Structure 1
C-alpha cells in the first residue's frame, strides 16, 4: 500500500494568526440542509437552536447555520421539478445584496436582515451562520443595480462567463477594485446582522470548469479580505468539494474549512471512500485550518427533499463515521432535525471521550489501509494522550490489528516500547483491555473500535 502524504506548507504567524483565532477548534454545530433543503424558516431555526443549546452545547456544539436559498421566495414550491427554481424572485436590497425572504423569516421584514434571528441565537450562548453562493445576483446585474460605496453597477463587476452549474442565482465577480468593494459591503452587512460563520458555495471546487476547477480563487481571497475588514470574527467555510490538495496552501491562507468531498450522504460507499480522502488530507489539519468531511447525515433527514426518513446508516456505520471525523479532526455539523433526535443518536453526538480527539492538538496518522480495513492513531501533543482506532471496511466479520510500533507521533517516532504492553480503554463502550505487541479487535462489518492508550 502507498500512503500519500502531502507536504505541509507553513505560513508566517503574522499572515494567518487572526484568521486562525476565529476557529481555534474544529467548528461544531447544526446545519439546516440535510433535513430542510431550501425550505427552512425562522421558526424551525429557532427550534433547532433551542434544542442545541439545551442538549448539545455542553458537548461543544455551538453553530446554528441557515443553509441555501434563505433569500429565495417560494423556495421548494417546485421541488418535484427543480431544487432551485430557475431565475426565481429573490429578496434583495438596493446595493445588490440578498436579504432573507420575509415570508419565511418574518423578523427580517423591518429591513434588518438576520439581526433578530442572530440575536436570538446569541442569547442562547450560541453562534449564528449562513450559507451564501459566491458572486453577485444575476438579477442585480441584469437590472444594473448599485454597488455600495462605488460608482459601479452590478453588471460591470459581474462575470457572465463564471457561473454555477447547479444553481441559477449568481454570476461570479470580476477580480477588480469594485468587485472587492461588493464583497466588503456584504461582510459589512453580515457583521451588522451578527453573523459568525459563512459557508460559501460553488467556490472550493468550481467543478463546471474541469480544466480550471479552482477558477474562483480570487473570490476566496476577496472574501478573506472582506472578513478582515468587517471587524467581526467570521469563520469561512468553502464548498463544495472535492478540494484540491495542490491548493491546500491557498485554502489555509484564506479560509478555516474546506470540503474534501462533494455532498456526503448516508451511503456506505461514500463513507468508505472518506478513508481515502482523509488519508490524502491528514497532514493539513491544524489550528484554524480544517479539511471538512461534510455534515453528519444521521437521525431524521430529507423532509425538504420530499419525504422525511431515517438515516440509512446502521449504528455501526454511524460510530465509524463519528470516530473517523473526530480522530481526523473534521468539523462536526449535524444534518438532522434536532428536535427529533432519539437518545441513542444524542449519545453518539455527545460522547465526550470520543469528542476529546477533535482538538487540532491531536495529530492524526493513518497506520494502514486497504479495501478491507483501516487503522489510525492520533497523538495529542499537549496532553500526551494517544488514541488508536481500528475499522472493518469489509462485508465480513474480521480481526483488525495495529502493531504497537506503528503508533507514532507527529515527528514519526514510535510512542511506545514494542514489548512494554499497553492498557486500553475503548471510548464507545468504556471497556478496559490490554495489548502486548499489537492492538487487535474482532469487528463486525462496517464497525470500529477506538481506544485511548493508557
Structure 2
C-alpha cells in the first residue's frame, strides 16, 4: 500500500485542498449552493491548486428542517435509499438527483469546472435498510446479517458493520461501486476515527475503494484519532482528523499546536494528519455552531492558522461559504509562496515549543529552509530562531506572506509578532 512514503492509489502527494459544506451550511446545503461554490473555486482558486468540492453530512435526509437530522423510533423521516440499502441524495435539496441519477449530474458539473467531487458518509449501513432487511447487491446476503449494535452519538441513522461477516465487506463494495459510478473522488467517513477507532471498518472502506476501480481520497472523521492507531491509519487513509470539530475561537486553534507536533512524525506522502476544516469566511448560515457570522478569529489569528497548516502540510479544506469571501479571505487562500510550503516542503518539525514557537521545514531541491514563528501570547512579543539549530551561520530572509526581502541575519532571526500572530519565512544560507 505504501512504499517510500508514496501511496500508489491515484491520490496526490500533496495534501488535498478544497471546500467542504459543513461549517457554512450544516446539513442544509443545496445543489445550487454546491454549484455556486464550485464556480467560485473554478474562477478564483483552481489555478492555485484548490480542487475538491465536498458535500458534507445527511445529503440523503429529506427536506430542509431546522433540527438535527436524526430519525425517530419508527425510523421516520425515511431516508432516500435504493433497494440495496445504498443512500441516494434528497431530491428536495438536490433536484438533479431525481430517479436513479444520484450525484452523477452534480459530480459531472463539478468535473466540468476542472474540479473534483466529494461526499460525506456516516460509518455503516442505514438502520432503515436493516429494518427492511434489503438484499445486498450481487450476493445472497441480507442487511440484517451485517450490522452490529453501534451507532454514532450524534446521528442515529446508521448501524456499524460487523466486518467479521464477509457480507459486510460486500455491502461496502456495493456502496463504493455506486459512488464510483457517480464520479466521486473523495469520501469523508464519519464516526470512524473517534470516539472509537474502528480498525476493521477503516480497512473495509479502504478495500472497497480499491475494488471500486476509481481513485478516491479517504478522509476519516471525527478526531481525535488515537496516536496508537498511527501505523494503521497511515496505511489505510489519506486524511484523518487529529481533533474534534474545530471552530473559530483562539483556544481551539491554540490547542492544535501540540496535536500537530505529536502527529508530525507520522505524516507521509499521501497520508495527512488533518486538523479539520478551516473555520474562516462566512460560517454557520444554518448552524451547527453559533449564529451566521464571519469568522471570529482575528486577522492575526487567521494568518496564524494558515501558517500553522502550511508548515504542517495539513489538508486545506475551507469551511466558509466561498461566494461570500472578501478580499482578505481570498488573499489567505491564494498566496503562492505560502501554498508552496503546504504543498511541497519536507521534514516539517517543531524546533521550539512553548508560547513562542519555532517550526521549520526543508525546501525540496534546495539548501534553503522554511521557518514559521508563532506568538501564542495575547500581547505582542519577539520570537527568536537560533540559526545554528538549522546548521546556518547567516542567511538572507524572505517574508513569505508579503514577498518582501528582509535582508541578512547572522546568528539568529528575531521578529516582533502581534499577539496570537505568526510569520513565515524562507531562509537562504550564506556560505
TM-score after normalising by structure 1: 0.90
Q: CA deviation at 1:443?
A: 1.2
- Alpha-carbon contact 2:2-2:235 (below 8 Å) kept: no
Q: Aligned to 2:90, what secondary structure does the other structure show? A: coil
> Are residues 1:171 and 2:155 paired?
no
Which secondary structure does the structure 2 equivalent of 1:359 belong to?
A: helix
CA deviations on 1:360-416 (whole Å, 9 max, x unpaired) are: 54221101111x221101112334441111110001221110100223xxxxxx3x2
Q: Does the Cα contact within 8 Å between 1:32 and 1:40 map onto a contact in 2?
A: yes
Instruction: Check if 1:49 corresponds to 2:38.
Output: yes
Partner of 2:178: 189
Q: Which residue of 2 aligns with 1:389?
A: 372
**Which of 7, 10, 14 is the equivalent residue of 1:25?**
14
Partners in 1 of 2:7 and 2:329 — Cα distance?
A: 36
When residues 15 and 325 of structure 1 are mapped into structure 2, their CA distance, relative to the original with a 3 A threshold, is: closer
Matched, 1:315 2:299: yes
Asked if the contact 1:286–1:360 (Cα under 8 Å) also holds between the matched residues in 2, the reply is: no
User: Hey, what's the Cα distance between the residues in 2 that align with 1:309 and 1:98?
Assistant: 32
Q: Give the Cα–Cα distance (whole angstroms) in 1 for the partners of residues 205 and 368 of structure 2.
A: 37
Match status 1:300 vs 2:275: no
Q: Does 1:331 align with 2:315?
A: yes
What is the CA–CA distance in structure 1 between the aligned matches of 2:326 and 2:347, rounded to whole Å? 32
CA contact (8 A) 1:26 1:360 kept: no
Shift of 1:359: 2.5
Contiguous gaps of at least 5 residues in structure 2: none
Specify the SS of the correspondent of 1:56. Answer: helix
- Could you say if the C-alpha distance between residues 15 and 29 of structure 1 is closer, same or farther in structure 2, counting changes exceeding 3 Å? closer
Moved more, 302-311 or 95-104: 302-311
Change (3 A) 1:269 1:58: same
Q: Specify the alignment match of 2:421 in structure 1.
A: 447
Following superposition, the deviation at residue 143 of structure 1 comes to 1.5
Aligned to 1:237: 219
What is the distance in 2 between the residues matched to 1:189 and 1:15?
Answer: 30
- Picking from 283, 288, 292, the partner of 2:265 is 283
Match of 1:410 in 2: none
The answer to whether the Cα contact below 8 Å between 1:16 and 1:253 also exists between their aligned partners in 2 is no
| 1:109-151 Cα shifts (integer Å, max 9, x gaps) | 0212000000000000000000000100001111111111111
In 1, Cα distance between equivalents of 2:323 and 2:66: 26
Residue 217 (structure 1) aligned to one of 183, 195, 199:
199
Shift of 1:18: 2.2
Distance 1:290 1:321 in 2: 17
CA deviations 1:81-105 (Å, max 9, x no partner) are: x364544321000000000001111
Cα distance between partner residues in 2 of 1:288 and 1:225: 16
- In structure 2, the CA distance between the partners of 1:12 and 1:296, relative to structure 1 (3 Å rule), is closer
1:41-80 equivalence runs, <5 A: 41-75=30-64, 77-79=65-67
Question: What's 2:3 paired with?
Answer: 13
Work out the number of aligned pairs and report it.
Answer: 421
Query: 2:400 pairs with 427, 432, 439, which one?
Result: 427
TM-score, normalised relative to structure 2: 0.95
Distance in 1 (CA, whole Å) between partners of 2:235 and 2:6 is: 6
Cα offset, 1:430, TM superposition: 2.3
CA gap 1:170/1:32 in 2 versus in 1, 3 angstroms: same
Distance 2:2 2:284 in 1: 43
Aligned to 1:404: 387
Task: Report the RMSD for the aligned CA atoms in angstroms.
Answer: 1.6
Q: 2:250 aligned with 1:268, yes or no? A: yes
Helix, strand or coil at the partner of 1:152: coil
Partners of 1:294 and 1:85 in 2: CA distance: 27
Match runs of 1:81-96 below 5 Å: 82=68, 84=70, 86=72, 87=75, 88-96=77-85
- Do the aligned partners of 1:287 and 1:360 also contact (CA within 8 Å) in 2? no
- Contiguous gaps of at least 5 residues in structure 1: 1-10, 208-212, 408-413
- Determine the C-alpha separation between the residues in 1 that align with 2:179 and 2:249: 35
The answer to whether the 8 Å contact 1:303/1:309 transfers is yes
